[in-house]
Amino acid sequence: MPKRKSKPPPDDPLDLNKVDQEIRIEKLKEQIKEVAGEEFVSSKADDCEPELEEAFLENVLALESSGWVRPLDELVKEGLKLPPAEELDDAALEKKLWELIGAMAKHRLSLSCTNHLSDRELYAWLLKDGLREEMMGFGLPFGNCHIDVLGSCSEEDISLQMRYYASEEERARWAKDWPDFPMPPREKPPYDRDQRLPKMEGY
């Protein structure tokens, strides 16, 4: 059955609001093209409501306009003090680490696979490596960002993943797919932090 077209509201008999919205949508597409440097191709469904399409395009434009940023730079710009790990004693470092994790969460940036690192090791890694990686979308009021501490796919990271985080099924599947991989014994991580980390939708 064909979709019934809605009638213009009584106060807009010429449906000018719809025309204005179509103009805004086309303008958003042009702006995205200017920022991204290429034609924007939408994969929206034919019956997608114009309101949803407009909101989606606004988010796309905001994402493309934000560019790639380093979370560490943005957090420091906001005034977060992040002294080197070696300048902090254990108590001060633990407090500063959770202050940093909280600041990341406010920007919808989550962490995973941290239980093999001490507080000092994790804090130092975030300052020297994890938060220096450029990402798109950090700081925007929508969407989520994520840092997997073992996300580099290096042999060392894979070994740590198999040792501390992978299930028996995952280990068996990996061993089957990569028979030459030196599978480490499965062990309990030395720390228990991940379950206390702020969780973002989708992670």
Q: Per residue in 51-107, pLDDT tens?
A: 766 555 655 555 565 567 899 999 999 999 999 999 999 999 999 999 999 999 999
Q: How far apart are CA 90 and CA 68, in angstroms?
A: 33
Phi, psi of 109 (to 5 degrees): -115, 120
- The predicted pLDDT at position 49 comes to 78
- Say what angle helices 16-36 and 50-66 make with each other, to 10 degrees: 20
Tokens of 66: 């934000």
- The predicted pLDDT at position 92 comes to 98
**Does 166 have pLDDT greater than 90?**
yes
Mean predicted confidence (pLDDT) in 11-17: 57
Q: What pTM was computed for the model?
A: 0.70
**Does 2 have pLDDT greater than 60?**
no
Q: Where are the domains of the chain?
A: 69-149+191-196
Q: Per residue in 113-148, pLDDT tens?
A: 999 999 999 999 999 999 999 887 676 666 688 999
